[in-house]
Amino acid sequence: MLDMSRGKPSAQQLALANDMLTILGPNDCVTENLTDARNYGGLDGIMEMKRIFGQMLNTPAESVVVGDNSSLTMMYHMIAACMFDGDEAWAKQGERVKFLCPAPGYDRHFAICQKFGIEMLPVPLNDDGPDMDIVEQIISRDAKIKGMWCVPVYSNPTGIVYSDEVCGRIAALQPAARDFRLFWDNAYCVHNFAEDRPQPFDILRLATNPDMPVLFTSFSKISFAGAAVAALAASEANRSKYLNHIKIMTVGCDKLNQLRHARYFNNLDGVLNHMQKMAAIVRPKFEATLDILSGLEDIADWTRPKGGYFISFNAKPGLAVKIVAECKRQGVIMTEAGATFPYGNDPLDKNIRIAPTYPSLDELTQAMKIFSRVARQESQKIVTRGLCT
């Protein structure tokens, strides 16, 4: 089976950070603030990592809270804190909470909403970001809309980058809900592979309401996917909300792994240097994928990202489920059709997420040829069915 279902780094990508494994020796476990990183404590993380995350996100180090392995966990806990904590908790306000979900989007974001019973309202995601005419209109009317998911740089799965104009309109949003929050998942903020890195929009400073944006990012696709360090950046009020929530379940995150990352990457330049080596591995896989897809221009369209982890493929309406099922039968596992939409429901059944990074170039080529042939055959069947009726 060729598994192209998840955005996993390849072994070659992971190996780029191998020197990090042994970088932290016994005489190097004290942070610049004189904390012994081996011991308990430090709920908000070490300053060395706050500084690096601040540079990556283009936001002050003081606004950063460093977490463990997964930014997804931090998103989950931030939403749990908003749902349940304090007198003004979302869950205590009576009616059901709603989130705007630009779609196609990231299935794990949607799964968190489903877990908390948050109603998801899909919003079209254009080439420059969410359709802001729609967003502005519905957000200003409905006080039950408490949040919106955004992946502003190399969006999952379309790979688009929000334009400065769209970011500006998001920053200026006037939601009916005073406690509306923007979940700004900048997972791919340094993951360019084909051009200059887009400068992250300074949403925390530029938002009309500084308590609106909550930024997230992580090293999951920079160092080791399963053993990285994640972060959140937000206003003091939001940081307190988050920390008060997690302090019940932990005495602090793994500061040794934070220090390991700090020693290895040092600063933004260290991260960007590393990501250039990463680009040299990832770029050829995207190019090979796009090259094979290019024969399908008469029956489908797809995105041509300059960074991130995915290509978003649109077949003719009604074909995504069929193509994914037939690929599976032929030994190629794609992300489940529909996964890129809230409730797994792609209204036109046309979107398929392609994740080119994990397989070797050979396997990828093999898998994409099968995918391409299947896409062609399924489209053909429509024509045939069309002719017969």
Cβ(216)–Cβ(183) below 8 Å: yes
Between 249 and 387, whose beta carbon lies closer to a second copy?
249
Q: How is residue 276 written in tokens? A: 């250039």
**In this complex, which beta carbon is closest to a second copy, that of residue 199 or of residue 250?**
250
List interacting residues with a second copy (CB under 8 A). 6, 8-9, 11, 14-15, 17-19, 21-22, 24-26, 29, 36-42, 68-70, 72-73, 75-77, 108, 111-112, 115, 220, 224-227, 248-257
SS3 383: helix
Q: Which amino acid is at 202?
A: D
Q: How far is the CB of 164 from a second copy (least distance, A)?
A: 32
CB of 75 to a second copy, least distance (A): 8
- Nearer Cβ to a second copy, position 112 or 203? 112
Name which of 108 and 283 has its Cβ closer to a second copy. 108
Identify which of residues 41 and 318 has a Cβ nearer to a second copy in the complex: 41
Closest to a second copy by CB, 108 or 144: 108
Q: Write the single-letter amino acid at 247.
A: K
Strands of the sheet containing 311-314, edge to edge, are: 301-302, 311-314, 351-354
Crossing angle (nearest 10°) for helices 320-329 and 361-388: 130
Q: How far is the CB of 117 from a second copy (least distance, A)?
A: 10
Q: How far is the CB of 219 from a second copy (least distance, A)?
A: 12
Is the Cβ–Cβ distance between 159 and 312 less than 8 Å?
yes
Cα–Cα distances (Å) from 36 to 29, 41, 222, 264, in that order, read 6, 9, 26, 18
Query: How many residues in total does the chain contain?
Result: 389
Rounded Cα–Cα distance for residues 219 and 367 (Å): 28
* Inter-residue contact 368 to 2 (CB < 8 Å): no
Short-list 378, 364, 370, 376, CA closest to 289: 364
- Closest distance between a second copy and the C-beta of residue 116, in Å? 9
CA 279 – CA 258 distance, rounded (Å) = 24
Cβ of residue 152: shortest distance to a second copy, in angstroms? 22
Using the minimum distance from each CB to a second copy, give the nearer residue, 77 or 322.
77
CA–CA distances in Å: residue 310 to residues 73, 155, 165, 184, 354: 22, 8, 24, 18, 6
Least separation in angstroms between residue 96's CB and a second copy is: 16
